[in-house]
């Protein structure tokens, strides 16, 4: 079996989680980069210590865990701060993702890497091809506010910390409309993954 590693990316709130769920239902093994990121900053980790040195010791709560909301407020306050967040965390996250890929390689036809920062982290180098999910900013803003219980200002800050839609779509091999109804979007993804898994060479 030749396992294909497919990167899934796009702006926050575009609908990547919905697409990833459809991929899992289609039999793909899905790696969630956000989960890998949480594991990278786990209690007592070297990554968390480095973040505390950079963004303040109070980002570690009384239980020794990362206060992700406080970290986000500080890290997304400016482009320079966001860059420092990425510089510290990405090597650790890539290491964890690579471990997941190797554990499932040759066991499934397609491994889907759900990674909002796929290009920024360099994780696209681990993939055979990339799928970008897109959606209008208004839709994404509403989704983020509801999903993460954020104010409009906080959600807007997260959106502004990312690249524009073209950054993702121009680099991707395939594009999926994140506003499609669940059934229609899932069907398109299933067809796409079937096509990718049948290819014998890297795209």
> What is the reported pLDDT for 18?
87
* Entry field: residues in the chain: 203
Residue 158 vs residues 4, 12, 26, 98, 137: alpha-carbon distances, Å: 31, 8, 31, 27, 12
pLDDT at site 151 = 92
Beta-sheet strand order (sheet of 29-32): 29-32, 110-114, 4-10, 129-134, 174-177
Tens of pLDDT along 102-132? 999 888 889 999 998 899 889 999 999 999 9
Strand residues in the chain grouped as ranges (E): 4-10, 29-32, 110-114, 129-134, 174-177
Report whether 148 contacts 155 (CB < 8 A).
yes
Q: How far is CA 68 from the centre of its chain?
A: 16
Per-residue pLDDT band at 88 (split at 50, 70, 90): very high
DSSP at 173? S
Separation of alpha carbons 161 and 82, rounded Å? 7
Superfamily name and number for 4-198: P-loop containing nucleotide triphosphate hydrolases (3.40.50.300)
Whether residue 137 contacts residue 145, with contact meaning beta carbons closer than 8 Å, is answered with no
The predicted pLDDT at position 158 comes to 87
User: What is the 8-class DSSP label of residue 29?
Assistant: E
């Amino acid at each position: 079996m030749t396992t294909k590693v497919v990167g899934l990316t796009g702006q926050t709130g575009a609908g990547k989680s919905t697409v990833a769920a459809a991929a899992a239902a289609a039999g793909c093994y899905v790696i969630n980069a956000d989960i890998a990121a949480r594991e990278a900053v786990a209690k007592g980790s070297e990554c968390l210590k480095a973040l505390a040195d950079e963004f303040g010791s109070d980002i570690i709560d009384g239980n020794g865990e990362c206060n992700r909301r406080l970290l986000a407020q500080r890290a997304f306050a400016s482009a320079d701060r966001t860059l420092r967040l990425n510089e510290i965390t990405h090597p650790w996250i890539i290491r964890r993702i690579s471990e997941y890929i190797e554990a499932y390689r040759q066991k499934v036809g397609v491994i889907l890497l759900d990674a909002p920062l796929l290009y920024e982290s360099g994780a696209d180098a681990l993939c055979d091809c990339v799928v970008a999910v897109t959606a209008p900013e208004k839709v994404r803003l509403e989704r983020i506010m509801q999903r993460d219980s954020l104010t409009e200002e906080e959600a807007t800050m997260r959106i502004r910390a990312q690249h524009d839609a073209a950054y993702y779509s121009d680099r991707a091999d395939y594009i999926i409309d994140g506003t499609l109804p669940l059934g229609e979007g899932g069907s398109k993804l299933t067809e796409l993954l079937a096509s990718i898994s049948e290819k014998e060479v890297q795209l």
